[in-house]
Amino acid sequence: MTVKIVTDSTADLPDELVKEMGITVVPVYVRFGEEVLRDRVDISEDEFYERLTHDPVHPNTTQPTPQDFVDVYQKLVQGADGIVSIHLTGKLSGTCNSALMAKDMMETKCPIEVVDSETLSMALGLVVIAAAKAAKAGESMDKIVEAAKQAMPKIRLLFLLDTLEYLKKGGRIGKAKALLGSILSVKPVLTLKDGELVPAGQVRTRAKGMNKLFEFVKEVADIQDLAVVYNTTPDEAQALAERIGSVFDKEKIRMARLGPGLGVHGGPGAMVVAIRGK
């Protein structure tokens, strides 16, 4: 059985992994005023972060359109027995809704299942990987959807941000706004609960923030998959991965980069650890 896996670019999956696992990625849009760019297609991570810090126009994001998904699904159904489309939390984006609308627009006997992962970045990526592994093993569509849904409650995610300013500008701050009154030197730490960003503490220095990410990993007894995600500080991410290597097989740590779709809201210096427990 051939089941195709689709996700969106906020999964932050590295290109080589996308190719290896046969995953199709639908890009979200980044807008600088009237200029509309596809995440990682029309603008690279380096170009984006350069503009984010220097362009006087602050960017925002828009979900893929239903037609974007229709175009992707139509290409995939020609060689598929089914499509499983897994996307970032519907609490923070309309991407899942666009995929559902596209499913209704399709005139095909090929079944399409849309899954709201209730998470984002490589936490979403780890759910997608679980589904893609099942698909590569030739499992049925039901088993592949089940693999994704079984992975979801085992996902844990922790963000370290340099500032909440970008979340505030992007209107995605949600319950994390409780931290806005903190003194400027505090580094916010966030997680996701029921698909929404919520505070998970705060630290006064970057070093203490990195310690918190490491302690977060140490607290998880049985880790099946783990990713370290950075955007503008690759050396720092590598150093964190080295530390994590003392408690989890370093060879299995997935390194990824926070793309423009989420970088708009995280701002420079964002660091993420995503874990899938057993």
Among candidates 116, 115, 173, which has minimal Cα distance to 144?
Answer: 115
39-55: per-residue pLDDT in tens?
Answer: 999 999 999 999 999 99
Higher pLDDT, 201 or 272: 272
Tokens 């299942």 correspond to what residue? 113
Higher pLDDT, 248 or 181: 248
Count, residues in the chain: 278
Which structural domains are found in the chain, ordered by start? 3-153 (3.40.50.10170), 154-277 (3.30.1180.10)
Is residue 154 within 8 Å of 278, Cβ to Cβ? yes
Sheet of strand 253-257: strand arrangement: 196-203, 187-193, 155-160, 271-277, 223-230, 253-257
pLDDT value at residue 184:
56
Residue 128 CA to its chain's centroid (Å): 10
d(CA 70, CA 226): 32
* DSSP strand pairing (271-277 vs 155-160): antiparallel
Count of C-beta atoms within a 10 Å radius of residue 209:
24
pLDDT value at residue 273:
98
d(CA 40, CA 263): 12
Burial category of 124 from C-beta neighbours within 10 Å (exposed 0-12, middle 13-18, buried 19 and up): buried
pLDDT at residue 178 tops 80? no
Mean pLDDT, residues 220-224 taken together = 92
